[in-house]
Amino acid sequence: RRSAPLLRRLVSSAPPLPGHGGGARRTVTYMPRPGDGTPRPVTLIPGDGIGPLVTGAVEQVMEAMHAPVYFESYDVHGDMPAVPPAVIESIRRNKVCLKGGLATPVGGGVSSLNMQLRKELDLFASLVNCANVPGLPTRHQNVDIVVIRENTEGEYSGLEHEVVPGVVESLK
């Protein structure tokens, strides 16, 4: 609820869009509905720690934008033995999932739910778009990059074991 004044302030101070005669500005109050206008389902896993705060903020932004989505929320936590099959089915059906952080168990040979999701859904890469927001001052200008991180090999594969007490080997 506190984000609306910040968004209004950013939009009002944003420079005009190029090629629009100096008067047009971006709008953040409405997101057009794609295709037939039917709201799209999104699987929501609030998760652990700050996950519920972050996903809650995203829900508020989507509501403020009148985004054509609705959330199917699932209570999943990092200390569970496995991701419930209903959650996997929802993600496959919806093809979109908003997931907060899930706690990762330490030791004991337990696989994290994050890794289970990556393997089950074959999520081999993580793509992160990084770009400046017009009207928001930052240390670096003209940033517009995509960071690609491989998710299923090396340190992210979970192929680790303790060779002797205090010595852990991670296979690549």
Q: Determine, yes or no, domain membership for 25.
A: no
Residue 135 placed within a domain: yes
19: left (phi over 0), alpha (psi -120 to 50) or beta: left
Compute CA distances 97 → 5, 88, 140, whole Å: 27, 10, 31
Quick: pLDDT tens for 97-141: 999 999 987 765 557 888 889 888 888 888 889 999 989 999 999
Residue 23 within any structural domain of the chain: no
Question: Among 106-110, 145-149, 154-158, which range has the highest average pLDDT?
Answer: 145-149
What pLDDT does residue 168 have? Answer: 81
| Inside any domain, residue 97 | yes
Domain of 90 in residue numbering reads as: 40-103+113-171
pLDDT (mean) for 85-105:
92
> Taking a C-beta distance cutoff of 8 angstroms, is the pair 94, 41 a contact?
yes
Residue with tokens 């002797």: 164
Q: CB–CB of 53/47 below 8 Å?
A: no
Please tell me the distance from the alpha carbon of residue 67 to that of residue 45, in angstroms, as a whole number.
19
Which of 94, 102, 101 is CA-nearest to residue 121? 94
pLDDT of residue 29: 43
- Pick the range with the lowest mean pLDDT from 7-11, 16-20, 159-163: 16-20
In a domain, 50, yes or no: yes
In a domain, 142, yes or no: yes
Mean pLDDT of 15-39: 54
Which pLDDT does position 26 carry in this prediction? 44
Q: Is the pLDDT of residue 6 over 70?
A: no
Q: Is residue 84 part of a domain?
A: yes
HSE toward the beta carbon, residue 139, CA cutoff 13 A: 0
For residue 6, tell me if it sits in a domain: no
Q: What angle do CA 125, 73, 85 make, to 5 degrees?
A: 65
Domain count, the chain: 1
Indicate if the pLDDT at residue 22 is higher than 90. no
In angstroms, the Cα distances linking 19 to 25, 66, 134 are: 11, 27, 15
Cα separation values, 79 from 64, 119, 146, Å:
33, 18, 32
